Amino acid sequence: MAKVWLVGAGPGAPDLLTLRAARLIERADVLFYDALVHPDTIALARHAEKIPVGKRCGRHSTAQTFINKRLVDAASRHELVVRLKGGDPMLFGRAQEEIDALARAGIEVEVVPGITAALAASASLGVSLTRRALSRSVTFVTPRIGENEPSSNWVRPVLAADTAVIYMGAGQADAISSALIENGMRPSTPVALVESASLPEESHRFGTLAGLVALAASTGAGPVVIVLGEVLREQLAPSLATLGQTEKKMAA
Amino acid sequence: MAKVWLVGAGPGAPDLLTLRAARLIERADVLFYDALVHPDTIALARHAEKIPVGKRCGRHSTAQTFINKRLVDAASRHELVVRLKGGDPMLFGRAQEEIDALARAGIEVEVVPGITAALAASASLGVSLTRRALSRSVTFVTPRIGENEPSSNWVRPVLAADTAVIYMGAGQADAISSALIENGMRPSTPVALVESASLPEESHRFGTLAGLVALAASTGAGPVVIVLGEVLREQLAPSLATLGQTEKKMAA
């Protein structure tokens, strides 16, 4: 019986792969992989046919329905098919479309979780996303702007949570900061941008929501997560603490 | 220079540990571990002094300040100290208190992320927490009920997000379902309870928010996450689909 494994490749660093994922990749007959999977991770597949199906920011894109079809085809020709996805497959990975397509074709699917970028970013920053008496909730969200979708779909959960992590948002920093501030988020909310979390070229930028656009403009071509919330305040520069006090005085 | 590593042990299954975590545990001089870490994971530590500091539901508890002190002490006597925490260290793990205590003592700390229970549960269910056109946000939250804390601290993010995962909530199912329904969440919202995610004894329970109390009462002694949201609807029994239609008719 053929089986397709949807496997999380983690945030980037090859040693942030799980033991289970590593063993599956080593045994795979065919390996489909996303654009952001590390070459060393792909190289673990010793005898697999390796097929890039990367999608990233529209630069190089294989349509999702075509990926689904290729997975079904591969399962009819191979015993162990691994579909390797950046981060965790079940967060912003369009995994459900692949699971459903395989299920409709009567093919067994199993999912192996991976370290998602938000948790890698939190580890690198040394800042816990939750924190006693300060943050009891964390939201992961990705905004779609200008697609006939109300901004409330992504703004509300960001405003409601104590800590928020925005995936795939750096390119839309202007619309994001405008929408959040218009809807009541304080411009002095601490912000961290983590680019290429867990990789040697990882970089961090700290500031406030008011300065998000400039922070985002200074990032490079790596994937970026935007972290927002009071858990970050102590990590920020003294200038920010001053800013926070100024705002408190203004509000008083 | 001594260094303390805060390491995520993942959700339970020993092979859902990361490669980095496994290598660190193998090399550790001393290993502090939580109650829910798998014995096979602890056994990876070949020559370490192994110290249980498990806290779970008040049953067996080592006060957090005492754990902090022991970590600082260990770093003065050993080169490689590993503090192994269930799931991911930065989610509901009180990691910040340990990081801050070590930083105050001038001890270097590094965090290794782990697979959090919500992602293990999502993988086992075969249900993506986010989904195109249905769920753009997911919130992880833990409620504290009856501790002089307004319920809005945890209710608001659950209501605002498309998908929510409640950690450490099964014992308070009654208060949780009451608070969510009172604040406007539909009683027909699909719910899944995943107990002991990723372990051989893992079990799933499906239903609706209206039936949460009965579902929670049927769980055992393993850790439980409660998943809420429309992403679960197709996984539910046909009876639930009927319930949803009935509600739609009543609303029409």
pLDDT in tens, A47-104: 999 999 976 544 445 688 888 999 999 999 999 999 999 999 999 988 999 999 999 9
Question: What share of chain B has pLDDT > 90, as a percent?
Answer: 78
Which pLDDT value is given to residue B57? 45
Looking at chain A, which residues constitute the CATH 3.30.950.10 domain(s)?
A: 117-251
Confirm or reject contact between A104 and chain B (CB < 8 A). Answer: no
CATH number of B3-112: 3.40.1010.10
Which helix (H) or strand (E) segment holds residue A164: the answer is: strand A163-167
Start-to-end C-alpha separation, chain A: 68
Specify the CATH architecture of the domain A117-251: 2-Layer Sandwich (3.30)
Average pLDDT of A208-234?
96
What region, left, alpha or beta, does residue A191 occupy, with left being phi > 0 and alpha being psi -120 to 50 degrees? beta
ipTM field: 0.91
Query: Residue A150: its pLDDT value, please?
Result: 74
A19 with B20: Cβ contact below 8 A: no
CA distance A161 to B173: 21
Residues in A touching B114 (Cβ below 8 Å): 115, 119
Q: Is the pLDDT of residue B237 over 60?
A: no
**Is the minimum CB–CB distance between B19 and chain A shorter than 8 Å?**
yes
Centre a 10 Å sphere on the Cβ of residue A217 and count the other Cβ atoms it contains: 10
pLDDT of residue A179: 95
Q: Evaluate if residue B56 carries a pLDDT over 80.
A: no
Indicate the SS3 state at residue B88: coil
Q: Is A10 on the interface with B (CB under 8 A)?
A: yes
- The residues of A carrying an active-site annotation are 34, 55, 168
Can you give the pTM of this predicted structure? 0.92
Cα separation, B152 vs A18, in Å, equals 36
Return the residue of A nearest to B156 by Cα. Answer: A160
Give the minimum alpha-carbon distance from B21 to chain A in angstroms, rounded to a whole number.
Answer: 8
Per cent of chain A over pLDDT 90 is 78
Specify the domain boundaries for CATH 3.40.1010.10 within chain B. Answer: 3-112
Contact B157 A139 (CB under 8 A): yes
Q: Does A36 touch chain B (CB under 8 A)?
A: no
Buried b (16+ CB within 10 A) or exposed e, B153-176: ebbbbbbbbbbbbbbbbbebbeeb
Distant-in-sequence, close-in-space partners of A154: CB < 8 Å, separation ≥ 6: A141, A142, A143, A144, B136, B137
